[in-house]
Amino acid sequence: MKFADLGLSDELLKAVADAGYDEPTPIQAQAIPPVLMMKDIIGIAQTGTGKTASFVLPMIDILAHGRSRARMPRSLILEPTRELAAQVAENFEKYGKNHNLSMALLIGGVSMGDQVKDLEKGVDVLIATPGRLMDLFERGRILMSGCELLVIDEADRMLDMGFIPDIEEICSKLPATRQTMLFSATMPPPIKKLSDQFLNNPKSVEVSRPATANTSIDQSIIHVAPKAKRKLLYGILDNEGVDTAIIFCNRKTEVRDLCQQMRKDGFDAGQIHGDMDQSSRLAELERFKSGEINILCASDVAARGLDIKGVSHVVNYDIPWHPDDYIHRIGRTGRAGATGVAITFVTKRDDEHVDSIQKLTGMKLPVRDSKSVKPEKKQGGKKPAPEKPAAGKPKTDKPKQQRSDDQATDTKSRPKKSSKPPKPSPKSQPVDDADDDGWNGPVPGFLDAKLDR
């Protein structure tokens, strides 16, 4: 099947082709036609299946006819986190370039005044997180009575973050006659109850059973003592063909500590977690996407929505506390038909978590012997020879920083390491992890401009 077979307009098909796509993914092929027919739908799909485009594309064509009015958005897309909301905005910019549609993004961490100005002009598409939307509604800055189309995205994540009461209140303020779409990776009972309450005879679209991991990802677990985790991680990064990797930790403090130690040991590592302010997180993600750094230490704020091509490995430095998070973490690799590797470190206290993950995914995770990971070669305390500076980078007279344990550099297999001392981390302000999540894609131009003000 081709995109041209789905009933999309010629202008939209051209934008899709310009983006490099010709064939829809299964969720897109099944969801787009009923959305164009103005039906309510429930879409269940694992992460990385192209779910966002399955509602963005038909919405662009549906909204192509009509006129927006001040403070009365014609459509509303609810996202659980800032990064996911910004990702959807980027998709609208990319696919809607041949349509004259206005858009506003309501998220925390940016100027509320600028967002109010956008609403005053009138918007066809409003993309919002529940908290900021309710705040502006209570201030009388936005009216919901003109909303013809509602999308509740990442519904199971909304449940995890405690947003279901907010969503129920938002839905109660929208017109009773509207088109509603609900997308979720899983369908727990509270989400089923929500769909029964606010969707009208929905068509169910499911491309894989709930909580199924991507089959293109090579998954394994390695039993390791807590104090031996970092040595095992370095062995994997040095000897297993790692191009780019995301290292997940459960705690923000551990993300910071691991990133700082990896920088000291010569790795080009960055970090993202909930205690970083929004602009710092976006900047760090852009460094990772551009290749300036090739290792990203992250908390679960990056477990969903981060869509960066070429992530070869995901390492669960800590096994996730919730089995659903395992699915979303490893889904950062093996995207868009590519293959990937996901390795999970397991300590003696983690057996219960392993059982929960295996029960949820319906598969037994292969166990690797930690001895199968080749240790780094030693040079008897000798300093490694300084590397030649990469093309386009200024030369430095400082020798490459040596590993704290005198382990040598294997330039053929080790990920690129920095020849310069690490830059100090940007100042951050506390941000609650429960209000944040992962980022995928470049920073939309309009959002980037606001963050720079």
Least confident of 201-210, 264-273, 311-320: 201-210
User: What pLDDT is stored for residue 253 in this prediction?
Assistant: 93
Query: What residues pair up with 125 in beta bridges, in sequence order?
Result: 103
Judge if 303 and 422 occupy the same domain: yes
Q: Residue 434 has which token pair?
A: 């429960």
User: Where in the sequence is the domain holding 141, given as residue range(s)?
Assistant: 3-210
Judge if 195 and 265 occupy the same domain: no
Is residue 441 domain-resident? no
Contact, 124 vs 102, CB < 8 A? yes
Is residue 451 domain-resident? no
Secondary structure of 405-453 as H, E, C letters = CCECCCCCCCCCECCCCCCCCCCCCCCCHHHCCCCCCCCCHHHHHHHCC
CA-based nearest residue to 197, from 402, 40, 430, 92: 40
Residue 347 belongs to domain with CATH number: 3.40.50.300
Other CB atoms within 10 A of residue 235 CB: 17
Q: If you average pLDDT over residues 21-48, what whole number do you get?
A: 91
Q: What is the percent of the chain with per-residue pLDDT over 70, rounded to a whole number?
A: 79
Assign 134 to helix, strand or coil.
helix
Beta strands in 153-216 (DSSP E): 179-184, 203-206
Most confident stretch, 105-119, 192-206, 354-368: 192-206
Is residue 450 domain-resident? no
Assign 104 to helix, strand or coil.
strand
Is residue 175 domain-resident? yes
Residue at 151: amino acid letter: V
Is residue 99 domain-resident? yes
User: What pLDDT is stored for residue 73 in this prediction?
Assistant: 95
Judge if 337 and 419 occupy the same domain: yes
What is the C-alpha separation between 289 and 278, in angstroms, rounded?
Answer: 17
Contact, 300 vs 433, CB < 8 A? yes
Contact, 317 vs 288, CB < 8 A? no
Burial class (CB in 10 A: 0-12, 13-18, 19+), 421: exposed
The greatest distance separating any two alpha carbons of the chain, rounded to the nearest whole angstrom, comes to 74
Judge if 236 and 330 occupy the same domain: yes
Of the two residues 109 and 425, the one the predictor is more confident about is 109
pTM above 0.95, yes or no: no
Judge if 154 and 249 occupy the same domain: no
Contact, 44 vs 184, CB < 8 A? yes
Most confident stretch, 62-76, 104-118, 254-268: 254-268
Judge if 90 and 16 occupy the same domain: yes
What is the C-alpha separation between 26 and 1, in angstroms, rounded?
Answer: 10
User: What pLDDT is stored for residue 399 in this prediction?
Assistant: 41
Judge if 132 and 246 occupy the same domain: no
List strands edge to edge, sheet with 75-78.
103-106, 125-128, 75-78, 149-152, 179-184, 41-44, 203-206
Final residue of a structural domain among 191, 210, 229: 210
User: What pLDDT is stored for residue 211 in this prediction?
Assistant: 54
User: What pLDDT is stored for residue 36 in this prediction?
Assistant: 96
User: What pLDDT is stored for residue 212 in this prediction?
Assistant: 59
Contact, 294 vs 447, CB < 8 A? no
Of the two residues 76 and 448, the one the predictor is more confident about is 76
Of the two residues 430 and 171, the one the predictor is more confident about is 171
pLDDT greater than 80 at residue 274? no
Residues near 449 by beta carbon (within 8 Å), at least 6 away in sequence: none
What length is written for the chain?
A: 453
What is the C-alpha separation between 290 and 285, in angstroms, rounded?
Answer: 9
User: What pLDDT is stored for residue 187 in this prediction?
Assistant: 86
Of the two residues 155 and 300, the one the predictor is more confident about is 155
Is residue 188 domain-resident? yes
In which band, very low, low, confident or very high, does the pLDDT at 177 lie, cut at 50, 70 and 90?
very high
Is residue 446 domain-resident? no
Residue 77 belongs to what H/E stretch?
strand 75-78
Of the two residues 278 and 24, the one the predictor is more confident about is 24
Q: If you average pLDDT over residues 371-396, what whole number do you get?
A: 48
Residue 99: how many CA atoms within 13 Å on its side-chain side?
31
Burial class (CB in 10 A: 0-12, 13-18, 19+), 348: exposed
Final residue of a structural domain among 194, 210, 226: 210
What is the C-alpha separation between 160 and 80, in angstroms, rounded?
Answer: 10
User: What pLDDT is stored for residue 285 in this prediction?
Assistant: 86
Q: Kind of pairing, strands 149-152 and 179-184? A: parallel
Q: What does the pLDDT look like over 373-385, one tens digit per residue? A: 877 644 333 333 3
Q: What does the pLDDT look like over 297-334, one tens digit per residue? A: 998 877 666 677 789 999 999 999 888 788 888 888 87
Is residue 358 domain-resident? yes
Contact, 133 vs 123, CB < 8 A? no
Number of structural domains the chain divides into: 2
Least confident of 70-79, 272-281, 300-309: 300-309
Assign 392 to helix, strand or coil.
coil
Final residue of a structural domain among 210, 245, 276: 210
What is the C-alpha separation between 328 and 334, in angstroms, rounded?
Answer: 12
C-alpha 315 chain-centroid distance: 16
Q: If you average pLDDT over residues 37-56, what whole number do you get?
A: 88
Q: Residue 53 has which token pair?
A: 């485009």
Judge if 161 and 246 occupy the same domain: no
Q: Kind of pairing, strands 269-272 and 203-206? A: unpaired
Mark 43-59 as b/e (b = at least 16 C-beta within 10 Å). bbbbbbbbbbbbbbbbb
Of the two residues 45 and 453, the one the predictor is more confident about is 45
pLDDT greater than 50 at residue 404? no
User: What pLDDT is stored for residue 428 in this prediction?
Assistant: 39
Judge if 278 and 176 occupy the same domain: no
Judge if 109 and 189 occupy the same domain: yes
Residues near 104 by beta carbon (within 8 Å), at least 6 away in sequence: 73, 115, 118, 119, 123, 125, 126, 127
What is the C-alpha separation between 131 and 128, in angstroms, rounded?
Answer: 8
C-alpha 283 chain-centroid distance: 15
What is the C-alpha separation between 230 and 235, in angstroms, rounded?
Answer: 9
Other CB atoms within 10 A of residue 185 CB: 24
Judge if 241 and 356 occupy the same domain: yes
Least confident of 132-141, 150-159, 325-334: 325-334
pLDDT greater than 70 at residue 448? no
Least confident of 91-95, 171-175, 405-409, 446-450: 405-409
Judge if 193 and 44 occupy the same domain: yes
